[in-house]
Structure 1
Amino acid sequence: MTGLEARVRRGLWVGKIPMGYDKVIVGKEVILKPNKTGKLVRLAFQLKAEQGLSNTDILKRLKAQGLILYNQTLTKLFRNPFYCGLISHGLLEDGEVVEGQHEPLITRQMFLKVNGLQAQNAHGYTQIKEDEELPLRHHIKCGSCRKPLTGYEMKKKQIHYYKCNTIGCKLNRNASKLHNLYEGFLAELEVDATYLPKLSEIMEETYYKLTEESRIEEKRLQTQHTELKKKLDTLERRYAFGEIEKELFVKFSSEIKAELVEIERNLEKCAPALSNPKSFIENGLNTAVTISSSWSKKNVQGRKQLQAMMFPDGVYYDREMEGYRTTRVNGFYALSKEIERFLEAKEKGKSDQNDHFSLPVARRGIEPLLPE
């Protein structure tokens, strides 16, 4: 699975932004939010669903509101499930859709009504229902050929299976069995609640050590930025009062502005500081106590989000060992488990009392967690 496909499967849009949305940066993620045009797109759906207006009449109404569209464009808008919170993308299989993390403009009921698709439809809704029974579809990859597993239902017995579609591979496993194995795989990353106070203390200390360098650099850049802004203000004031020639003003102001742009770019690269690291870490550790049971209790979208958070690159099913392996685990939970093992060994007298965690190992440990 490519990085772009992984983003799409997490519900993040990739590519040209659909009409009616703008990019908004939240933390390290870029999300899509409805804009003024989005309100008119919503109006178009409402006019079609609630008043049954023709496309021609709807186009006239939109033009009166300042939005000029062609009939073909309007038809494409009506057929795009993105507007009801779903994503259908070229990186996904034909007919497949996933839950988007963007704010929908309309309800799914309205989308279905506009398209006359109250039952099954060409945009994959039957596939969504199937995902309720097969949440690991595409998240699991075949350990032999490394291709994502798909799934199906044996109608007569109402039993679901995951399978590899690679010719000659023949991997085919009962979904319930793979779900139980997955819960066990998640349980391997769970921590004992009795270690939470010490875990929280060590991870908070680790966080501050990891971000100290970034905080110092950010402070230095902000100081430079402030000083350059003052120089630019002084230069503009002197030019306004005729103290310097235009040629000199343009030359030096251009240089200062270029420096400001470069500093602002570097500031964006600095790791954003958490407003409350202690609370962030405690919440993450509380989740780490019951990862497997949390997964089993969530709905399909909740499961997929947790899966993507825990194993960003997915997992591989090894048919010989009848278990999972992965190339990448969420750093926060990997580190918390590593520290727990250290504390356990220390408690049993199997660890040097002077042992501590090196920053190179811990450096990958504090990364964004998924909100509950």
Structure 2
Amino acid sequence: MKKKNLTLSDFYGSTVWSYTRVSTKEQFMNNGSIETQVKRIKSFAKDHGLIITEEFDAEYESSKKINTQNTLRELIDKIKKTSINKRPKIILIWSPSRFGRAGAEHIQLFVKLRKEFNVLLYSVSTEHNTFNERAENEFSTQLLYAQKENFNRQDTIIPGLINSLNNGKTFGKTPRGYDHYGPRVSNPTKVKAFQEIILNEEGKLLKEAFKMKIYKSYSDKEIINWLKTKGIKIAYQSLSNMWKNEFYAGKVCNSLLEDNYIKGNWEPIISKKEYQILQKILGGSKHLGVAKIKGKEETPLAPKFLVCNDCNASMTSYLNKQKQLFYYKCNGCNKTVNANSSSKAVHIGLHEEFQNKLNDFKFSKELHDLFSEQLKKILSDEMSNLSDKKRIITKEANESKDALDKMEYRFAINEISKDIFERQSQKILDNIKQKVYELENLPTKKSNHDKAIKYFLKISENPSKFYASLDYNKKRKFQEMLFPEGFNYSIKNRDYRTSKVNS
């Protein structure tokens, strides 16, 4: 094989390998697919007496850099490990651009293949090869041209992509809860002339899950179990990623954009403000970590609320199966404290101590009049902007009703299809229902303030009794409302300290 001007016939009967590649799903679906390349390469090998002993097929692998071509690197590694007498004489490829588009990187690679391993390249579709210096020069030109094609494509396509993103479109697979319609989707039933992303039935349940997380202090486990009852299975990690995905807040997310808020053309599950609240909830206090506990109903002070004042670590809870008693344990110093008081316990339970602390907020009936006046002032301030809120919501509801009327007219004169009318009108109807719900739940100036004040006074007369009457989630909410930075407790001194109290 040391002839300077080798031809393909010199390799008749030789062992060869094949390498095929497509970088996108679109190429895979069309004539440039792996299957098409493999079929033609095998036919070529048979016609020229070449024996293919190894095939390397790379689906959806970009070749802008060699380090993104996992299959090509796998081929090179195998050549290194293969003995000289079993190495292929040639690697058959479909075209130089299928070998790679990284220009100088791929040129260095084929030179290395020839010099270090005596392995050559041959393009079945174009006949370009690396059999001699002149052929290598032409092969190099083809690789550089392929790289230039990429650069030109970036110069023309990327500005268009950025413009589409700025107009509220998104690219790639949409997250759970949405159906993606458009001209380039793979599902033929969802092909449309224009992109449309619609919240589906699963998305409506996920919307409720977000509300449970933000407003009701539900844990991920509780939400996963609730979703399971609705027929939705989701893993812990998937749920964790979902909480952090700004797509659900209606934001267009793409690496081509700067970190600006661009509103997407789809119905968000939560608002931008709700997303920010959720991230604060997920971040939590610097003291608090992820706690693994059992018996949550019996131990409402964990997780993410109780902090050891001796070592500043978070505390969790567990059940002593032998004693059938619940305890709180510090994750830092490993000290424990009984959750409840019992006849055998040396000290009163932490729950009783916490309720004693709640009773510090109790005040006598002599202060009721003063407290009532203060509450009336607070309620009056809350009501001051009520008219503006009602006006804005009513205006939005009326605008949606006008939009629905216009859509019905367009459908009547056959300007839009029945499919589009049904889907879009349902979205408008849902929005109208939401606005009506908001109006119905706005407090009115006729609200019985005296009744509300009487309720608050009842709580203040015996806070611990009120707390004991709540279910788990309401207890958690009440705790966090009073002690937003958690409840610090010293197991060593059997004493508590609160860094911040909402009173």
Q: TM bucket by the smaller chain?
A: 0.3 to 0.5
> Which TM-score applies when normalising by structure 1?
0.42
> Which TM-score applies when normalising by structure 2?
0.33
Q: Which has the larger radius of gyration?
A: 2
Point out which structure has higher relative CO (alpha carbons under 8 A, 6+ apart): 1
